[in-house]
Amino acid sequence: MASASFEFDDGGDGERAFLAGSYLSYLVPHATYFNPEVALLPSGSNRKAKFEGVQQRDSLFFDETVDIYLVLRTPRVDEKVLRSYLGRLAVHLEAQVVNAHTTGRDSPPSSETVYRGTVEDPGSAIVLSEELEQINLDGQNEKEETYMHAVWKLSVFLPRPRMRLQAPTVVFSASAGLEQLSIRNSNGPESGYMQSGAPAGLNLLEAFAHDPMLGGIKPQLSAVRVSRVAPVSQSKDPPQLVKAMKSLRLKIYPIVHARVRFARPNATPPSPALIAILEVDFTPFFEYEAMLEKIAASVTDGIVDDLNTQDGMDLPLSCVAHDHLAFLYKLSPKQLDIVSKNPTRDLDITIEVKILVRPEEPDICTPTLKMSWTTSLDFTLPVNPGFGQPMTQPIQRSHRPSQLSISGGVDTQSLISPSITRPDALPSLEAATARPTETNLPDFGITMTFTGPTEPIYAGEEFVWTIFVVNRSRPEQSGNNNNPTKPPPHLSGARKLALHAIPRRRRNDLRVVRPPSSGGGTKRDPLIADAVMDENVVHAMQRSSAIDDTEIICLSADVRIGPLAPDACAVAELRFVALREGVVGVEAVRIVDLATQEHVDVRELPVVVVQSR
């Protein structure tokens, strides 16, 4: 059995042999406490097979610090020679978060780079010697090749990108290059002195050397000083790249959302203290147990009092998906006299969560998520805390239906902007669940049920929605005959309704209040109004307009129902044609009472999933 070995030297042949026989790969092991020296001990198989058999993570989480192991496999040489090459290596790692491709759009999916790192000291890598590897070639020849492995570890923090996430994945890509040896000469141009024997530049003022007006002075002006010479940068030879794995793509999910809100206690006398409400939401994108390990809040020159003293709120807390937790803290400044001068403070919040993917032996996998951010506080004393309380109830209208939505929860929402009442960055949990799943029309007196087709829907083919309508209105029972007031038409008898499908609107279709045009100069007559169609505004709207394809077309332009007596029911149909694949739909279905011209928009509609043949 013949033995093949590689001999590297410090010359070009040794570098070429090192580059030709080396290969860079990288992996994310499943075990949290992964030790390559222990896990890759060859037992019954070579170390290469051990590397390939390491169990790896199939998904990652945002706000996680994950360990990436870079493995360089090279033919077996003396360890000193190998470390001399490793010291000249430049190993880089990059991580990008890439969204999934959206059907119906030709543009590439959006991506954002969240990490760029370099191995600080590549010469201090963990070097593992390889045992013999047998290679059979068609049963004729059999030889043995020996390899060595150099292992580096990089800890990569995966922050949340600024872009909108849509089925994101994280892509790791690494590269390694062998830098050239730099041979420096003490008399060379890098030493700062002129080289010996180098020709001097031409003297442009040599013709004035014998001028009697200069009194024997020979002026000197080198042509190098006045001629335009392009700066020559000392370009280094590009490093010779090592063959490497193309990329490593893994799914990534957000596990925890956190936000903080502030409220001022209504106390007498008024106090600058604030109540911080820290809300922690667990998403449905995981199926493991999560341990809320730590919550730390600190205020610069302030005091933080923990108000979570009740039973069951002691950390660590065991949590699962869809859990929603709220923690209360009282924030107050240390010295009141400093508050009057500078009432602004910084609040630092840190949250640590441990995900128990595999909490038992062997190969324990418990990723740790860490969220840290800073927000500003204002400890300014309220001038008149009891005056001007915000109105929390909307305007009530008797015998009038809600024209804004069919949901009963909308009628009890505040008229104040959410950006003022809830000044936080993440969407609230109540906003996601405010709309009920059951659609009812209590004010309108109509109950409707929409049913979609059970068979698959294909692009370009017609499909039907079946609408079941029940008239729940009652004729008004009045025992006082002296009251000449006539009840509303929809409470006195039969109903006549019309159904219209409203297509989805683009966001830029909404008209906004525009400022006056500045194209007419600074001085203008106050008696002259602004132009109805300003060319500057028209140009800006055309530049910012977006072209969006039509998703679905309604073939039922006008559907009439009725007369429909009280407690009577009817069935109607709306026919559509989908023009593209994917999840499509309409904005709403408007129900119009033909007697009173009142209408309600139904937005809880069946989900339409269009497939391709």
Instruction: Give the whole-angstrom CA distance, residue 315 versus residue 320.
Output: 15
Summarize pLDDT for 346-393 with one digit per residue, the tens: 999 999 999 999 888 778 899 999 999 999 888 887 665 555 444 444
> How high is the pLDDT of residue 483?
46
Query: Binning pLDDT at 50, 70 and 90, where does residue 186 land?
Result: very low
Query: Binning pLDDT at 50, 70 and 90, where does residue 408 land?
Result: very low
Q: State mean pLDDT over 439-468.
A: 82
Q: Is the pLDDT score of 216 beyond 50?
A: yes
> How high is the pLDDT of residue 279?
92
Q: Is the pLDDT score of 100 beyond 80?
A: yes
Higher pLDDT, 71 or 557: 71
Q: Which helix (H) or strand (E) holds 423?
A: none
Q: State mean pLDDT over 319-342.
A: 82
> How high is the pLDDT of residue 192?
53
Higher pLDDT, 279 or 134: 279
Following CA atoms 75, 81, 82, 88 in sequence, which dihedral angle do they give, to the nearest 10 degrees? -130
> How high is the pLDDT of residue 428?
44
> How high is the pLDDT of residue 407?
36
Summarize pLDDT for 127-145 with one digit per residue, the tens: 887 654 454 545 444 545 5
Instruction: Give the whole-angstrom CA distance, residue 477 versus residue 565.
Output: 16
DSSP-assigned states of every residue in 431-471 = HHS-S-SS--BTTTTEEEEEE--SS-EETTSEEEEEEEEEE
Query: Binning pLDDT at 50, 70 and 90, where does residue 231 land?
Result: low
> How high is the pLDDT of residue 481?
44
Highest mean pLDDT among 183-192, 298-307, 440-449, 485-494 belongs to 298-307
Q: Is the pLDDT score of 433 beyond 60?
A: no
> How high is the pLDDT of residue 2?
39
What number of other Cβ atoms are within 10 A of residue 321's Cβ? Answer: 14
> How high is the pLDDT of residue 337?
60
Instruction: Give the whole-angstrom CA distance, residue 271 versus residue 264.
Output: 8
Average per-residue pLDDT for the chain: 76
**Greatest distance between any 2 Cα atoms in the chain:** 133
Query: Binning pLDDT at 50, 70 and 90, where does residue 227 land?
Result: low
Query: Binning pLDDT at 50, 70 and 90, where does residue 96 land?
Result: very high
> How high is the pLDDT of residue 398?
45
Classified as helix, coil or strand, 186 is coil
Partners of residue 298 on adjacent β-strands:
348
Instruction: Give the whole-angstrom CA distance, residue 176 versus residue 152.
Output: 12
Q: Is the pLDDT score of 168 beyond 90?
A: yes
Predicted TM-score (pTM) above 0.85: no
Q: State mean pLDDT over 73-90.
A: 87
> How high is the pLDDT of residue 409?
38
Instruction: Give the whole-angstrom CA distance, residue 23 versus residue 147.
Output: 11
> How high is the pLDDT of residue 400?
42
> How high is the pLDDT of residue 394?
44
Query: Binning pLDDT at 50, 70 and 90, where does residue 524 land?
Result: low
